[in-house]
Amino acid sequence: MVVNSSIHALAIQAERGLKRVEAAEATSCAARAELSRSQRDKEALGMVVRHMADLKLDLKHQVEYLQEDIREKTRIFSQVVEEAKVKIIEDYIASSRFDDMMVGSYRWGFKLSRWMIRNTYPELDISAITTSHITQEMAAAADDDPDSEDEAGPSGIIEVPSEGEEDVPPGL
């Protein structure tokens, strides 16, 4: 009986060992499968990282291109704006509105000068110094004979309409 019990004990021990080996083998197989899945995931993540790095590089190039494009368009826009400013000023200077403003300013300055002369030198008779009696011939003669070098310039006779007002500066 002792032999039978020893054999029986060895058989039980072998069965237990077999069960442990089978369990270890199943665990090992599951671990290998998990390792294989992890390696595939790692490779996939590596591909995603490389793809994202490529996209980042492409975006960086696009940003550089767009920044250069913006700089170029800003330069062109600034140049167009400057040219438009010059044209607007030239158009305004060539306009009748500018001529009217210049004539009005000249008349106002002339009236102010007469007023100052009249008040500074009340004994002088300045009734002959007026713009209301200027003819085209007088304007042409005055244009050809400047009082000083500062007044010498391109010929440009401007008709000054007589307003019939007293020679008193506005606001005085």
23-53: per-residue pLDDT in tens? 999 999 999 999 999 999 999 999 999 999 9
CB atoms near residue 114 (< 10 Å):
19
- What whole-number distance in Å separates Cα of residue 4 and Cα of residue 40? 53
Rounded to 5 degrees, φ, ψ at 124 are -80, 140
What pLDDT score does 146 carry?
Answer: 60
Tens digits of residue pLDDT in 115-167: 999 999 999 888 888 777 777 777 777 777 666 455 545 555 555 445 544 44
CB atoms near residue 167 (< 10 Å):
19
- Assign 60 to helix, strand or coil: helix
CA angle centred on 41, ends 35 and 43, rounded to 5°: 105
- What whole-number distance in Å separates Cα of residue 104 and Cα of residue 95? 14
Answer yes or no: is pLDDT of 103 > 70: yes
Per-residue burial over 54-68, b if 16 or more Cβ lie within 10 Å, else e, is eeeeeeeeeeeeeee
- Does the pTM surpass 0.85? The reply is no
